[in-house]
Amino acid sequence: MKIALLQLNPTIGDLAGNKGLIARAIRRAPDFDLAVTSELALLGYPPCDLLLNEEFVERSWQALDELAEELDDLPPVLVGLAGPDTSAGRALFSTLLP
């Protein structure tokens, strides 16, 4: 299995820009079976207070859906963003989603 590790420099809070950065990096990656981004790559790291804004978190999930549609012709990509965490008493946690 060939894994493409995408080392990116996302901008905090720039969902559209980071989505484009991820898409371009994936399109440039050589033949791979799975691509993996860094922690919170779609949001930019560290997102800090942006995670307190429910609209921003919702928009990040919309950006993930758009990215998935744009890259549906490629192998799976794990994208780092914040996901809901109902078990630990916190609202969100860092996650990788296909």
* Percent of the chain residues topping a pLDDT of 70: 85
Per-residue confidence (pLDDT) for residue 54, from 0 to 100 = 85
Per-residue confidence (pLDDT) for residue 24, from 0 to 100 = 96
Separation between Cα atoms, residue 12 and residue 43, nearest integer Å: 6
Per-residue confidence (pLDDT) for residue 43, from 0 to 100 = 94
Strands across the sheet containing 77-84: 3-5, 34-36, 77-84, 92-97
The residue count of the chain comes to 98
Instruction: Name the helix (H) or strand (E) containing 60.
Output: helix 54-70
pTM, two decimals, is 0.84
